[in-house]
Amino acid sequence: MAAEQEEGLKLLGVRASPFSHRVQLALKLKGVQHEYLQENLENKSQLLLKYNPIYKKVPVLLHKEKPIIESLVIIEYIDETWDGYKILPQEPYQRALARFWAIFIAEKCMYTIWTTAWTFDEEKREKGTEEVSEILKTLENELKDKLFFGGDALGFVDIVGVFLAFWFPILHQVVGLPQLVAIENFPKLYDWSQRLLDLNVVKETLPPKEDIFAAFSANLQRSNKATK
């Protein structure tokens, strides 16, 4: 795929962030070249504070000096702005379904996994683990026998779901049982995750595993100290 030149296009992100990765992957699928600006969220740049003064977080896409924020919104903007690979379905009902499942993963799924991973309250952990299991079962049933959530090709839901395929197993490794349910317990979802990670376009945009492992391990140490 020939890369399209887009003068002045900038992405403010954090390499280890699944939210930033979504946008990088969408741009890669479209073949759109951009300037990547690595942010330090402990010392936020003036550019980030200027263009996302409300939330002060990444990712932020700057297109012709106009900021677009929130990863799901940015992906739709990319899909509508540049030709080439179609990320969302063109048929309205299928497009609405894709939005629903993307939001389900981005909000319900990720939030439940994250809060369960870092709790040390046994009752909350047990309840959270059950909820994570039910969420993964729901996604397993939605996937059915499809290669990807949208069918035969990588789409909107899969882009958001890279968190489950890449970040989630590392988090599970760091936190360990019984705090989380392994994705391997869900064969269709697990096969989908491996198929997703085997795609060159995904592999080329992922951060190093060791960086994610280190970040999660540091967070676990902070959480342990906070409970003592």
pLDDT computed for residue 182 by the predictor: 86
Region 40-55: mean pLDDT is 95
pTM for this entry: 0.93
Pairing between β-strand 10-13 and β-strand 60-63 as defined by DSSP bridges: antiparallel
Question: Whole-number mean pLDDT of the chain?
Answer: 92
pLDDT tops 70 at residue 177: no
pLDDT digits (tens, 9 = 90+) for 108-139: 999 999 999 888 888 998 899 999 999 999 99
Domain 92-226 has CATH 1.20.1050.10: yes
Q: What is the DSSP string of 74-110?
A: HHHHHHHHS-SS--S-SSHHHHHHHHHHHHIIIIIIH
Domain made up of 10-81: CATH architecture:
3-Layer(aba) Sandwich (3.40)
Amino acid (1-letter code) at residue 128: G
Give the residue extent of every domain in the chain: 10-81, 92-226
Q: Cα separation of 149 and 220, whole Å?
A: 32
